[in-house]
Structure 1
Amino acid sequence: MALLKRYAAFVVITACVLFAFYKLHGPYQTATGSAHPQDDRPNRHDGKVMKIPIYDWAKVPIQNPVTDMIPLPTGSPLPLPKIQFDFPQEKEIETLLRETRLAEVKKSFERCWESYKKKAWMQDELAPISGESKNTFGGWAASLIDSLDTLWIMGMKSEFNKAVKDVAKVNFGTTTLEKVNVFETNIRHLGGLLSAYELSGEKVLLKKAIEVGEMLYVAFDTPNRMPITRWDFHKAGSGFAQVADEWVLVAEIGSLSMEFSRLSQITKDPKWYDAITRITNKLEEQQMKTQLPGMWPISVNGKEADFTGDTAFTLGAMSDSLYEYFPKTYAVLGGLDPVYKKLYETSMKTAIEHTMFRPMTPDNADILMSGMVRAQDGEINLQPEFQHLVCFAGGMFALGGRMFQIEDHVKVGRKLADACVWSYKALPFGIMPEISHHLPCPNITGCEWDKMAWMEEVKNKAFTENEEDPLKNIANQRLPLGFTEINDRRYILRPEAIESVFIMYRITGQQQWQAAAWDMFTAIQKYTQTDLANAALIDVSVTSGEPPKMDSMESFWMAETLKYFYLIFSEPDVISLDDYVFNTEAHPFKIPK
């Protein structure tokens, strides 16, 4: 999974602001509600019951209407090359081992789900230590909606049916948050609802998906039809004029194509496809005009629709799902919009040439990492940073390689996925940190471990001034061999590594990936489990005791991480990669045939 995962800083709207909106602005309906989603008491101000505005997004007037709607591509879907390995019949002992592991993963999910139901039902997240709840994604039951297709895939149909009844009650016309993250709402809520609808056929889920789609569409109501990604929900609903922001994360503006395309396909309404195609066209027009031709920088200018200005480039955080969605949207559209193939192939050629490096490791591992690039006026500098987020790239390259028949991309994907497995094993608890740095080899074909060179690089990066002894630097920073710096020592229950391990297993059929997945799962389960569920870790590099926990369990733990762990131990025909493609929140969409 990709993006930011998650980059969200929302501010709770005060009662006074809500009151002002109620008194001064429309069009909206009103209903008695609470200023805080966990509080069922009516809002009160000076002894009076207040009302929270509720917007009917389908009826909010559009101020910048589209006059030349771009239609969905027509014609029969093109046949895609076979992606998934033809698995042979299992031996009895293999089935027993796989099903035992599968049951353990499901048990972990069931435990988290029960705690969420008891402690945080209809809220966005469960706090897994305190048992409290959080609303950081609109207060629209993010964990509930994000987990719907996991319930279905795990065969928990009774729980699924009960959940659907309460999903029908979620009101996307109101929120107590000042600003809504359009990207996160798209991948979690719209993606989750569409996927659960496709799997189950429950029409109420499509109805709710359309409600989310109507809401998000209003964020595109700007003069140049570029969306506002950190969107003022109440101003938009109240009829204020909107202008796209001058500073936008490229992953947030470029990772709406799968969900919007699918919504247009299902509803036969092209407006959502039109909305994202205008962004795609800008990406294509400017792809070779950036400071690193072929890729786009981390931040872009939405107001001017200029995607060329910044100098920082990466496949990692703040860019990741932009690239991930090129082959996946190609598949969702049945291969009928060839621009996505072009965008993928051109950008990945640049990524391989400039962002990849082979780290020097004590075991001379044949692995690749993807770092950060600073490019300006033809000068290109690679920073050997390694993010847990960028672990998605192994699966992306493997899928793209199969889909577009580029075998070298499958090989690159394998080495990227191997780097994540290596990083998990290198840490004392078997869990990879958020961000680390490494010493690049002179080239990606290989180099021998040089302990003195590694120690010198550690010394150069040491934070401690006047500390000349690299051994003390290594000890002080708790650095495993091969790591020159650990910049962020957390593990926040991320899915990206197991995502790529799952895809590599389904593509190659090699059981080494299942073995790696089991090692990852047992380590994560051992150290993140709480009395209620599972908690993010503050520091996975400690060398005594257990890694300290933080009171956080984002919805992607049940929506993505546990889903991928479950699927790697499922029978291969469960959500086959020949039939489905996952959005960046692990919601499977059917590939048109």
Structure 2
Amino acid sequence: MIARRSRVAVAFVLACAFYLFHKVVFSNSGSIGFDFVIPNDSRIQYPFKEKGIDARDAKKAEAVKEVMKRTWKFYKEKAWGFDEIKPVSGKHGNSRNGWGATIIDSMTTAAIMGLTDTFAEQYDWVVNHVDFNKPKGLVDPFETTIRYLGALVSTIDLLEAGVIPAPSPSFRQDILKQAKTLADNLGPGFDTPTGMIWPRINFTEGLGTDMHGRRNQHTIVHLARAGSHWLEYSTLSHLTGNKIYLENSTKAWDCLVFNKRGVPWPGILESPRSISTGLPIGTTRTLGAPDDSHYEYLIKAHLLVPNGPTKHHAKRWHQAMTSARKYLSSTTKSDTDPHTFLLSYSKRTYENNMGHLTCFVGGNILLGAKYLSQQSLFSFGEALIEGCHHSYASMPSKVGPESWSWMPRESHLRPPHFPGPITLPQKKMYEETGIWSTAPNYNLRPEVVESYFYGWRITGEEKYRRWAWEAFEAIVKATETEWGYSEVDDVTEVRKEGNLRDASESFWSAETLKYLYLIFEDPELCSLDKWVFNTEAHPLKRRF
């Protein structure tokens, strides 16, 4: 009888343990549960030096630097003080409130490349000429934070790390003064019931508004707008000692990160959301735009500040990427040359379309999976990078399109019959490559080479540098103009007259050229073990 009671007790304990384990690790309720331990200290970057590898390719790094120098030369000549140059006509324009986006956004690129004269000009502009109290039009807090504020706080980190000589003994207080002015003017944007930031801010009135300048209680925001401030504001609080910036950005993100409502796919939230309630208004689930950098920042927040509540962010990231592999991953039908892409989901329907912007995901997965020692996720990230490489290799110009489609192999997805290519060129491309372009333009975007950067720095595999160099040569060939480098109208065409858009956003020099340069420079420059890059490629010092 005693033995029987013991067996019953043991069975009961085991059953309870199994139930708790199942609930913690596999629950779909949205609660956090893990089958791994977050490391206190884990090396991310491949040990090039320890392996005796000279990982610097000076010739290729110099070639990228020359393109940056040419970009800057013509911007100075034709568009100085404006946000961007129009590289076909040699004219200029403002799309980022007229604060000189190209100047400020590319400060960190000039610093990293050692362009001291260029950096001195940029520094002078920031300190002596920009008035962050007077924007042209309403201010977009998302773009302003990642481009302007991110550049300013990153510049301080880079100068203090000795990456480039300081142009003035007072550099820290000079740049920090401007960063604080900008952040303080962005502050009213957080004045909502949830803390989620308004889509626009009227600096003159000190009020957050909707996209049209109205105080509409039914205003909605997508995930990236709500969750892409924390890295920049956390760094600003560290530099100033003022916690208000960290508090604002933390509250703005909390209703997403600490979401207590059950979600069908753990870690992946429906979008957009109400800024008044934090609840979903739409049904879209995607890792791509306009939700992308919310997921990107989850793991990066923990890497920036590993101690404290950011462990929760890392857990959310792990949930989201695990769910993405389970619910959004799709493979092309080809038996001989299959490729992996990411679907989007809305209104109970999958969409077999992926954008260039989504190609950041592969590199982001490598970053987080390496740190958390999650090999299955790591392999998923590698597959996504290879798929994005295929989007480049499949185009006649060898430059990837803004978006493309494929026929999914998975038979369980809805709809059961996905729309195929429509036009004759699309059908021909599909027959030859397994994908077809749905938006053939290239906007000088960085996401594919960004993932190559992470692939190279984390694995040390030469293929990522080879792919990066092929992309660099193809991009320059397709985009070069008399006055710089321009967006391309159609990458399915090899260079021809009239195929350029006369536009060049600041992320060309801030991101695309920076990632390419870092792929070929000494890997100790902005090592992933010491720096975290914001979504505009501005490196921020990790705070251990």
TM over 0.5: yes
Residue 386 of structure 1 is aligned with which of 337, 343, 354?
A: 354
Name the aligned partner's letter for residue 250 of structure 2: T
Instruction: Supply the AA of the counterpart residue of 2:470.
Output: D
- Structure 1 window deviating more from structure 2 (488-497 vs 333-342): it is 333-342
| Farther off after superposition, 537-546 or 510-519 | 537-546
3-state SS of the aligned residue for 1:170? coil
Q: For structure 2, which runs of at least 5 residues remain unmatched after alignment? A: 1-37, 161-170
In structure 1, runs of 5+ residues without a counterpart are 1-76, 445-456, 465-470
Q: Is the aligned partner of 1:326 residue 2:298?
A: yes
Match 1:251 to one of 224, 230, 240: 224
What is the total number of aligned residue pairs between the two structures? 487
Contact (CA 8 Å) 1:221, 1:242: kept in 2 or not?
no
Displacement of 1:90 after TM fit?
6.3
CA contact 1:236–1:242 (8 Å) conserved in 2 = no
The structure in which a higher percent of residues are helix is 2
Q: For residue 231 of structure 1, report the CA deviation from its aligned partner.
A: 2.6
CA contact (8 A) 1:139 1:175 kept: yes
Cα displacement string for residues 413-433 of structure 1 (whole angstroms, at most 9, x for unaligned residues): 111111111111111110110
Select 1:421's aligned residue among 368, 389, 399.
Answer: 389
Distance change in 2, residues 1:363/1:107 (3 Å): farther
- Aligned counterparts, 1:445-460, within 5 A: 460=419
Cα deviations by residue, 1:369-403 (Å, 9 ceiling, x for unpaired): 1110125xxxx432221211110001110011012
Compute the displacement of 1:176 (Å).
2.3
CA distance, structure 2, for counterparts of residue 263 and residue 274 of structure 1: 11
The aligned counterpart of 2:109 is 150
Paired residues of 1:401 and 1:410 also in contact (CA < 8 A)? yes
1:402 matched to 2:370: yes
Task: Return closer, same or farther for 1:436/1:206 CA change in 2, 3 Å cut-off.
Answer: same
8 Å CA contact 2:329–2:343 kept in 1: the answer is: yes
2:142 paired residue number: 183
Alignment partners' CA distance in 2, 1:181 and 1:518? 34
SS across alignment from 1:487: strand
In structure 1, C-alpha distance between the alignment counterparts of 2:495 and 2:156, rounded to whole Å: 47
Find 2:281's aligned residue among 306, 309, 323.
Answer: 309
CA deviation map 1:461-501 (0-9, x unaligned): 3546xxxxxx68625xx556244542211000000000000
- Residues 194 and 255 in structure 2, CA contact (< 8 A), matched pair in contact too: no
Q: CA deviation at 1:213?
A: 1.0
Q: Tell me, what secondary structure is at the counterpart of 2:139?
A: strand
Preserved CA contact (<8 Å) 1:282 1:305 = yes
Alignment map for 1:477-556 (pairs within 5 Å): 479=430, 481-483=432-434, 485-542=436-493, 545=496, 548-556=499-507
Q: Say yes or no: does 1:360 pair with 2:333.
A: yes
2:542 partner letter: I
CA contact (8 A) 2:44 2:371 kept: yes
- Tell me if 1:440 matches 2:424: no
Residue of structure 2 equivalent to 1:38: none
Distance 1:286 1:340 in 2: 11
- Superposition pairs for residues 235-384 of structure 1, below 5 Å? 235-236=205-206, 246-286=219-259, 288-290=261-263, 292-306=265-279, 308-337=280-309, 338-361=311-334, 363-365=336-338, 367-375=339-347, 380-384=348-352
2:257–2:313 Cα contact (<8 Å) kept: no
Q: How do 1:222-241 residues align onto structure 2 when only pairs under 5 Å count?
A: 222-236=192-206
Distance in 2, Cα, partners of 1:526 & 1:486: 20
What is the CA RMSD across the aligned residues, in angstroms? 2.6
Q: Which amino acid aligns with 1:369?
A: F
Which of 474, 484, 498 in structure 1 is aligned with 2:427?
Answer: 474
Counterpart amino acid of residue 569 in structure 1: F
Deviations 1:563-590 (A, max 9, x none): 0000000011111000101000000001
The aligned residue for residue 140 of structure 1 is: 99
CA contact (8 A) 1:226 1:244 kept: no
For residue 438 of structure 2, give the secondary structure of its aligned residue in structure 1.
strand
| Equivalent-residue separation in structure 1 for 2:224 and 2:53 (angstroms) | 43
- Report the Cα offset of residue 297 of structure 1: 2.1
8 Å contact kept, 2:267–2:317 = no
Q: 1:196 aligns with which of 140, 155, 158?
A: 155
Task: Work out the CA distance in 1 between the residues paired with 2:256 and 2:284.
Answer: 16
- Over 3 Å counting, the alpha-carbon distance change for 1:443 and 1:145 in structure 2 is farther
Q: Rate the CA distance shift 1:462–1:427 in 2: closer, same or farther, 3 A.
A: closer
Match of 1:165 among 114, 124, 127: 124
Partner of 1:21: none
Contact 2:322 2:377 in 1 (8 A): no
Structure 1 residues 244 and 114, CA gap change in structure 2 (3 angstroms): farther
How far residue 288 of structure 1 moved from its aligned partner, in angstroms, is 4.8
The answer on whether the counterparts of 2:194 and 2:251 sit within 8 Å (CA) in structure 1 is no
Which residue of structure 2 lines up, in the alignment, with residue 29 of structure 1?
Answer: none
TM-score (normalised: structure 2): 0.84
What residue number does 1:40 align with? none
Which of 112, 115, 120 is matched with 2:79 structurally?
120
Q: After superposition, what is the alpha-carbon deviation per residue over 1:125-160, rounded to whole angstroms, capped at 9, x for unaligned?
A: 111111111111111111111000100100112221
The sequence identity of aligned pairs, in percent, is 31
Whether contact under 8 Å (2:198, 2:208) holds in the other structure is no
Partner secondary structure for residue 201 of structure 2: strand
Partner of 2:25: none
| TM-score between the two structures when normalised by the length of structure 1 | 0.77
Instruction: Provide closer, same or farther for how the CA distance between residues 371 and 78 of structure 1 changes in structure 2, counting only shifts above 3 A.
Output: closer
CA shift for structure 1 position 546: 6.5
Which residue number corresponds to residue 87 of structure 1? 48
Amino acid at match of 1:225: G
